[in-house]
Amino acid sequence: MTEIVAVDIGGTHARFAIARVQGGRVAHLDDEITLKTAEHASFQTAWEDFGRRLGRALPPAAAIAIAGPIQGEVLKLTNNPWVIRPSLIPSKLGAERYSLVNDFGAIAHAVAQLDDDRFTHLCGPEVPLPANGVVSIVGPGTGLGVAQLLRRDGQYHVIETEGGHIDYAPLDTLEDQILAHLRKHFRRVSVERIVSGQGVPNIYEALASIENRPIQIRDDKELWTAAMEGKDSLAAAAFDRFCLSLGAVAGDIALAQGAAGVVIAGGLGQRLLKHLPRSGFRDRFIAKGRFERRMDDMPVKLITHPQPGLFGAAAAFAAEHGE
């Protein structure tokens, strides 16, 4: 069994944990330690802080998931001033072996290796995710992550994508008006403008404009809370439209990828758990014309592991190094 440091670096927080991998899979993930990126000058100083908090020497192996592309000699993170130079990881961190993976690629690795009880059923047949075929993974968070997991004969492959940046397609007259409003602010409106953390604020502002009403809530966190708790009717309407759009987008991604199952993940996933089954998510997910029956026969799950990014980073290391 090999011990490694698993890291999940986002825009605001960097999460660290010790993981143990064996036989190409994650055997155990310790409790995480979360550090604020704004309080650390670099990834190296955060790594050292984790070691001090742990009170022990860190193992010489690392699994690192980052919010951003992982190609090139210098990696720049999304919404985070840190830069990572992969060639310097062994000397800077003392990690003789390491794996780098995009943060949503890590989620896909987690989906591949987690047990069935780490997923909650949303719609479609209440059966496990397929052992063979494609699983589409869609994750609203700061942005909209999209990945593809291909399972075949006991093996799996993760394909990272930028599916969150495809064009937004309105499906009724109200969404036509929402799109027209957003076009005044964005040269191009991608699905990420609607189905992500910025989605409810964007929709809320559009609805306020349509109704010629003043914007009452300007703080995004306060707006999300009011929307999900139904404390403000316009915010609640924006949240309803968010859930509809998430269903439509998840269905589009599944069709495009030839999926046999879908997983909803992302930073907002856990917050949506109680709401999606009661929303119009399913109706929009299956509303694909001649493919409606196929969509309705597809299991749709929500991942419930508390730290899928850390687990997935460790899984990516185990798969790459065969540990």
Binding site, annotated residues for ATP = 7-12
φ, ψ dihedrals at 98, nearest 5° = -155, 160
Instruction: Report the SS3 class of residue 73.
Output: coil
φ, ψ dihedrals at 283, nearest 5° = -60, -45
Residues 142 and 197 sit within 8 Å (Cβ to Cβ): yes
| 259 CB-near residues (< 8 Å, 6+ apart) | 133, 134, 135, 136, 148, 253, 298
| 256 CB-near residues (< 8 Å, 6+ apart) | 163
Measured distance CA(136)–CA(148) in Å, rounded = 5
φ, ψ dihedrals at 65, nearest 5° = -105, 130
Residue 119 identity (one-letter amino acid): F
Residues 133 and 127 sit within 8 Å (Cβ to Cβ): no
Closest to 221 (Cα-Cα) out of 164, 142, 104: 142
The residue with tokens 């409606």 is 292
φ, ψ dihedrals at 228, nearest 5° = -75, -25
Instruction: Report the SS3 class of residue 129.
Output: coil
Annotated binding site: 7-12
| 88 CB-near residues (< 8 Å, 6+ apart) | none
